[in-house]
Amino acid sequence: MAEKELILDVMKKAGEPLNAGKVAELTGLDREVVDKAFAEMKKEGSIVSPVRCKWEPAEK
């Protein structure tokens, strides 16, 4: 899924934990698409939450 790759790329470039709204803004994706991708990525373990409601790639 291309959305997940785009989201991870944006998160790595940001260099700090981001919330779903900011990821949607930076990627140009719809917020619902980002929320759905986040849910799948959490289950896969590709993103982690160091701060409440903010996420970053599991591997930097």
Percent of the chain with pLDDT over 70: 97
Average per-residue pLDDT for the chain: 94
Amino acid 60: pLDDT: 64
pTM for the predicted model, two decimal places: 0.88
Per-residue pLDDT reduced to its tens digit, 23-52:
999 999 999 999 999 999 999 999 999 999
Residue with tokens 């790639």: 57
pLDDT value at 1 more than 60: no
Strands (DSSP E) contained in the chain are: 47-51, 54-57
